[in-house]
Amino acid sequence: MATSEVVHAHVAPQGFIRKYIFSLDHKVIGLQYFFLALTAVWVGMILSLFMRIHLIWPDANLPLIGHIQPEAYLSLLTMHGTIMVFFVLTTAPQGGFGNYFLPIQIGAPDMAFPVLNMLSFWTTFVAFVIMLASFFVAGGAPLHGWTGYPPLSALQSAGPGEGLGADLWITSIAIFCAASLMGALNFITTTLDLRAKGMTMMRMPLTVWSWFITAILGLLAFGVLLSAGILLLMDRNLGTSFFLPVVVVNGQMTAHKGGSPLLWQHLFWFFGHPEVYIAILPGMGVASQVLSTFSRKPIFGYRAMVYAMLAIGFLGFMVWGHHMFMSGMSPYSAFAFSLLTMAIGVPSAIKTFNWLGTLYKGRVRFYSPMLFAIGFVSLFVSGGLSGPFLAQPTLDIPLHDTYFVVGHFHLIMGVAAIFGIFAATYYWFPKMFGRMMNEGMGKIHFWLTFIGTYAIFMPMHYLGMAGHPRRYSQLTELAYLHPLIPVQKFMTYAAFITIGAQLIFVFNLFWSMFKGAKASDNPWDATTLEWTTATPPPHDNFGGHTPVVHNGPYEYGVPGAARDFVMQTDPAIGASH
Amino acid sequence: MGLALLAVIWLITFVSTYFFIWHPWWLPAGASAAAAGIDHQFVNTYVIMGVVFVLAQCSLGYFVWKYRDRGSAPPAEYSHGNTTMEVVWTVLTAILFVGMNLMGSKIWAAERFEPAGASAIPVEVTGMQFAWYFRYAGPDGKFGLTNPTLMDPSSGSEAAIGLDTNDPASKDDVVTGTMMLPVNRQVDLTLRAVDVIHSFFVPSMRFKQDAVPGLAIHMHFTPTQVGDYEIACAELCGLGHYKMHGMLKVVSQEDFDKWLAAREAEKQ
């Protein structure tokens, strides 16, 4: 429960460095995370564009990097996946928007541990620098994929990039894990201890629930990856054999014996599957918040939404084996993992039904955040429905490690999560920067991105069905891939258009920061606490007072109320809420 | 804006569905005993998921258009949800998903729980950067010993997998770079990898299994049609991953016996 009295931990700093660089203010730290993720997403996107160019024009000479070799393609692929998963999908929704808005939405002046918060950002920053550094060392970035399966990732001799580049890659991820653990502790403590008077758990906005559950997942998952990363570093550098049996590479026998490559897969996916939900849960929270606001209707089934997220988080820890149906793991355990994975479809379906239920009989207003939230629901459905294919071990026989999987996880964990980030950006930008983003540019950005991402990722399912393996740098070797090259070309053209559309977003973002129309304190007529305070919020969030909460988070269209929305701090509208 | 969303969401839905129904790109023609069952389960899942996909996307498009904010529109309905409906759709999806799982589990059990039959022909598959090798036990029906210190990948045959020629059982072992199998006879596979993880993927046989260093994984399948089938590697194994392919030639038992005898003779 919320504790009796909250004293703000620090006064507003005056110097530039303490104010903007080593700031303790959760809002500044949130922005730092946001801009880190924005940088990372451009790196990740450019890498993917190089990959798509190489796939269809293998002999192309590109600016900066020249001719892409097959091993360089694998480095691009590894770094694209790693940067996107860790430094974008984990960093932006949780570190960025979670940091900025979780304290404000629960009526707290800051995070529970501001110094830890600062440390967590700067540790993430160091991890990012080390990750990028792996491009510039001898041998370049590793080629073992973002999943880093040993022995490929454990032996220098297994390929270019598996020398210093791979050590830097593992080190970066280990540091990132430590940073995320700090962040997770902070989010959990803040949510449990710093809620304003009247902000019961069941009055928290669904965004807060999503960040809170994501933090719990992070706390349990990142520790496992951190340990696995340290073991892998030891195998590489100290002669241990946690993941290495007797192996012969290029005719040379290594000194390792007795280890198990499957052990890494278990540890990695014990982290890796919850990581999927770490990426998507905040998107679910934002979609719920935005759909309710712009439908002018309470969210459909608030409690069901909370329970569904808890169920997804809980089940998310028991399904990691579905990544390993073809790995040589016991076929009997596949049966259990499959059943539990199917079970996770149930809370996911509940969420979809409830989003549709929220739109039903609403009064839908089409502002940019709402367009991206609607896009989120569409992509969540499309990406989600290929899940039950892959959850069945029988169907993994033809589909595992093909483009079908690539299409599946890009739609749901990549694009849907990114649409959550876009919705959050358009929705909260006025509060963060005091100005509105340009609606016209926002809408063009939405249409191009929505259609473009479908055009890139939907055809991947067809390729996967035809047996197209993933992570192939050239499509000329297997004869049965030749007829699929036109589809690959189409996807590359779509990628050009979609990435081009992101220039509109970035332009809009920076243009609106300085030239956008001035935003009022509550431009969307929304109900949660961030809209009760000044724009942008003062250093202590609420200008010296602590809000008192009387209502649930989504009271729109309340019969008899003066306006079509009742804010959380307005007088209580009735005992039943 | 509502109408545009309706149009685009429906269009994406129908175009996607059109390609799934017309299926110019589809599972390659199956040529093994397991193919029919796997394909049947695939089509079932496909139809069920397809119906849910179309219904969900169409309702999304319809709702955003139908309930768009218009000056004259009635106010939004004040409702926090409907518990009965929540329970109904929770139970329905649970039955659907668990049912789908149970439907498919029989095929999985047949593929993976049962060992190969007694009459199956034993073949050992070895993956290494970036080639597949296939070993046949010869007349004695026994695989000879291998020794990692004897491996010489440049040899392209028996020495590539480190066959220990001092072991009598290894004398008649044949190692090839192309996989030959007799039609309509079960093959008892032993999958190995010497350096990193590879994955033995034969799309037409509906067969895929990782080959993992340190493990000898036993699997089986039965080719049912004579022909040539491409073998791919489905697990990222290094810079030559994309070119780690091989060929499976399914021939009559007679042709197979002739081929093996010729290889034995060549070796002596």
Q: Which domains does chain B have, with CATH numbers?
A: 2-69+80-112 (no CATH), 121-267 (2.60.40.420)
> Between helices A331-359 and B83-112, what is the axis angle to 10°?
160
Report the SS3 class of residue B31. coil
Q: Do A401 and B208 touch (CB under 8 A)?
A: yes
Cα–Cα–Cα angle for B202, B203, B205, nearest 5°?
70
Mutate to test the interface with B, among A397, A400, A565 (most CBs of B within 10 A): A397
Place of tokens 């940019």: A368
Q: Do A389 and B45 touch (CB under 8 A)?
A: yes
Cα–Cα–Cα angle for A358, A360, A364, nearest 5°?
80
What does pLDDT average to over chain B? 93
Cβ neighbour number for residue A255 with a 10 Å cutoff? 8
Residues of chain A whose pLDDT is less than 50? Answer: 1-7, 575-577
User: How is residue B50 written in tokens?
Assistant: 């397809």
Give how far Cα A501 sits from Cα of A155, A192, A283, Å. 41, 40, 21
Nearest-neighbour CA in chain A from B171: distance (Å): 22
- Number of cross-chain residue pairs from A and B with Cβ atoms under 8 Å apart: 345
Is the distance from CB of A556 to CB of A296 less than 8 angstroms? yes
Burial of B267 per CB tally in 10 Å (0-12, 13-18, 19+): middle
d(CA A36, CA B59): 37
d(CA B47, CA B17): 10
User: What phi and psi values does residue A196 have, to the nearest 5 degrees?
Assistant: -65, 165
* B141 in reach of chain A (CB within 8 A): no
* B22 in reach of chain A (CB within 8 A): no
d(CA A477, CA B245): 8
Element (H, E) at A338: helix A331-359
Q: Do A450 and B154 touch (CB under 8 A)?
A: no
Which comes out higher in pLDDT, residue A293 or B25?
A293
Task: Give the long-range contacts of residues B262-265, CB within 8 A, separation 24 or more.
Answer: B263/B136, B263/B174, B263/B176, B264/B138, B264/B139, B264/B172, B264/B174
Nearest-neighbour CA in chain A from B45: distance (Å): 7
Mutate to test the interface with A, among B77, B147, B150 (most CBs of A within 10 A): B77
Per-residue pLDDT at A10: 64
Per-residue pLDDT at B116: 93
Q: Do A246 and B148 touch (CB under 8 A)?
A: yes
Q: Do A326 and B151 touch (CB under 8 A)?
A: no
Summarised one tens digit per residue, pLDDT across range B194-220 is 999 999 999 999 999 999 999 999 999
Residues 161 through 200 of chain B touching chain A, CB cutoff 8 Å: 162, 194-197, 199
Per-residue pLDDT at A415: 97
Sketch the domain layout of chain A as residue ranges.
16-566
* B93 in reach of chain A (CB within 8 A): yes
Give contacts of B9 with chain A, Cβ < 8 Å.
378
DSSP for residue A479: G
Report the SS3 class of residue A549. coil
Count of CA atoms in the C-beta half-sphere (13 A) of A125: 17
Which comes out higher in pLDDT, residue B1 or A35?
A35
Which candidate, A443, A545, A541, places its Cα nearest to that of A501? A443
d(CA B249, CA A535): 71
Which candidate, A348, A491, A345, places its Cα nearest to that of A407? A491
Q: How confident is the model at residue B110 (pLDDT cuts 50, 70, 90)?
A: confident
User: What phi and psi values does residue A551 have, to the nearest 5 degrees?
Assistant: -135, 165
Nearest-neighbour CA in chain A from B188: distance (Å): 16
User: How is residue A447 written in tokens?
Assistant: 């249409």
Among B5, B70, B76, whose Cβ lies nearest the Cβ of A374?
Answer: B5
Mutate to test the interface with A, among B3, B9, B21, B78 (most CBs of A within 10 A): B78
Which candidate, B64, B43, B56, places its Cα nearest to that of B12? B56
Per-residue pLDDT at A302: 97
Task: Give the long-range contacts of residues A345-348, CB within 8 A, separation 24 or more.
Answer: A345/A384, A345/A387, A345/A388, A345/A391, A345/B93, A345/B97, A346/A311, A346/B90, A346/B93, A346/B94, A346/B97, A347/A307, A347/A308, A347/A309, A347/A311, A347/A312, A347/A315, A348/A308, A348/A312, A348/A380, A348/A384, A348/A387
Among B105, B108, B152, whose Cβ lies nearest the Cβ of A251?
Answer: B152
Cα dihedral sign for A165, A170, A175, A179? Answer: positive
Give contacts of A454 with chain B, Cβ < 8 Å.
12, 16
CA A114 to chain centre: 23
Give how far Cα A294 sits from Cα of A364, A516, A520, Å. 6, 21, 17
Per-residue pLDDT at B266: 86
Per-residue pLDDT at A103: 98
Which candidate, A531, A552, A550, A93, places its Cα nearest to that of A301? A552
Give contacts of B243 with chain A, Cβ < 8 Å.
474, 477
Give contacts of A297 with chain B, Cβ < 8 Å.
76-79
d(CA B177, CA A220): 46
Q: How far apart are the first and last CA of chain B?
A: 79
Q: Do A295 and B76 touch (CB under 8 A)?
A: yes
Give contacts of A451 with chain B, Cβ < 8 Å.
8, 12
Summarised one tens digit per residue, pLDDT across range B115-173 is 999 999 999 999 999 999 999 998 888 999 999 888 888 887 888 899 998 999 998 99
Q: Do A371 and B230 touch (CB under 8 A)?
A: no
Which candidate, B223, A505, A377, B169, places its Cα nearest to that of B158? B169
* B113 in reach of chain A (CB within 8 A): yes
Give contacts of B78 with chain A, Cβ < 8 Å.
297-298, 556-559
Ranges of beta strands (E only) in chain B are: 121-128, 131-136, 174-176, 179-182, 187-193, 198-202, 207-211, 217-221, 227-233, 246-251
Q: Quickly name the fold that domain A16-566 has.
A: Cytochrome C Oxidase; Chain A (1.20.210)
Give contacts of B2 with chain A, Cβ < 8 Å.
364, 366
Count of CA atoms in the C-beta half-sphere (13 A) of A490: 15
Q: Do A158 and B195 touch (CB under 8 A)?
A: yes
Q: Do B38 and A394 touch (CB under 8 A)?
A: yes
Give contacts of B26 with chain A, Cβ < 8 Å.
465-466
Mutate to test the interface with B, among A292, A327, A364 (most CBs of B within 10 A): A364
Cβ neighbour number for residue B167 with a 10 Å cutoff? 15
User: How is residue A72 written in tokens?
Assistant: 């360089």
Report the SS3 class of residue B39. helix
Q: Closest-CA residue in chain A for B21?
A: A462
Place of tokens 């590359």: A492
Give contacts of A458 with chain B, Cβ < 8 Å.
12, 16
